[in-house]
Amino acid sequence: MRVLSGIQPSGRLHIGNFFGAMNQHLKLQTEHDAFYFIAEYHALTSNPSPKELKKHTLDVAMDYIALGLDTKKTVFWRQSDLPEVTELAWILSCITPMGLLQRCVSYKDKVAQGLAPNHGLFAYPVLQAADILIFNSDLVPVGADQKQHIEVTRDIAIKFNNTYGEIFTVPEEHIIESVAVVPGIDGRKMSKSYNNTIEIFESEKRVKKKIMSIVTDSTPVEQPKDYENCNVFALLKLVASPDELKQWESKYKAGGMGYGDVKKRLAELMIDYFKPYREKRTELENNIDDVKQTLANGAERAKTVAQKTLQKVRKAVGLGN
- Residues found near ligand TRP in the complex (CB under 6 A): 4-6, 8, 39, 42, 128, 131-132, 140, 142, 146
Q: Whose Cβ is closer to ligand ADP: residue 16's or residue 171's?
A: 16
Residues assigned a catalytic role:
110, 189, 192
User: Which x/- pattern over 180-219 shows residues binding ligand ADP (rule: CB under 6 A)?
Assistant: -xx------xxxxx--------------------------
Main-chain dihedrals φ then ψ at residue 23, nearest 5 degrees? -55, -45
CB of 146 to ligand TRP, least distance (A): 5
Tell me whether residue 128 or residue 196 sits nearer to ligand TRP (CB atom).
Answer: 128
State the nearest-atom distance from the C-beta of 6 to ligand TRP, in Å.
3
Q: Which does 92 bind (CB under 5 to 8 A by kind): ligand TRP, ligand ADP, none?
A: none
Binding partner at 191 among ligand ADP, ligand TRP, none, C-beta below 5 to 8 Å by kind:
ligand ADP
Select the span of 8-16, 84-92, 155-163, 263-271 touching ligand ADP (CB under 6 A).
8-16
Q: Which is nearer to ligand ADP, 39 or 126 (CB)?
A: 39
Beta carbons within 10 angstroms of residue 26's beta carbon: 18
CA–CA distance, 174 with 149 (Å, rounded to integer): 12
The torsion defined by the Cα of 18, 19, 22 and 28, in degrees rounded to 10, comes to: 160
Three-state DSSP class for 103?
coil
Nearer to ligand ADP, 188 or 253 (CB): 188
Residue 294 contact, options ligand ADP, ligand TRP, none, Cβ 5-8 Å cut-off depending on partner type: none
Residues facing residue 189 across a β-bridge = 183
10 interface partner picked from ligand TRP, ligand ADP, none, CB below 5 to 8 A per type:
ligand ADP
How many CB atoms lie under 10 A from the CB of residue 233?
Answer: 22
Size of the site for ligand ADP (CB under 6 A): 15
Burial of 94 (0-12, 13-18, 19+ CB in 10 A): exposed
Shorter beta-carbon distance to ligand TRP: residue 4 or 257: 4
| Nearer CB in complex with ligand ADP: 181/317 | 181
d(CA 306, CA 67): 27
- The helix/strand/coil state of 275 is helix
One-letter amino acid at 72 equals K
Query: What is the spatial distance between Cα 298 and Cα 294, in angstroms, rounded to a whole number?
Result: 6
Output the smallest distance, CB 142 to ligand ADP, in A. 6
Residue 37 C-beta: closest distance to ligand TRP, Å: 8
User: 101-134: buried (b, 16+ CB within 10 Å) or exposed (e) per residue?
Assistant: beebebbeebeeeeeeeeeebbbbbbbbbbbbbb
Q: Does 23 bind ligand ADP (CB under 6 A)?
A: no
Cα end-to-end span (Å), the chain? 33
Interface residues with ligand ADP (CB under 6 A)? 8, 10, 16-17, 20-21, 143, 178, 181-182, 189-193
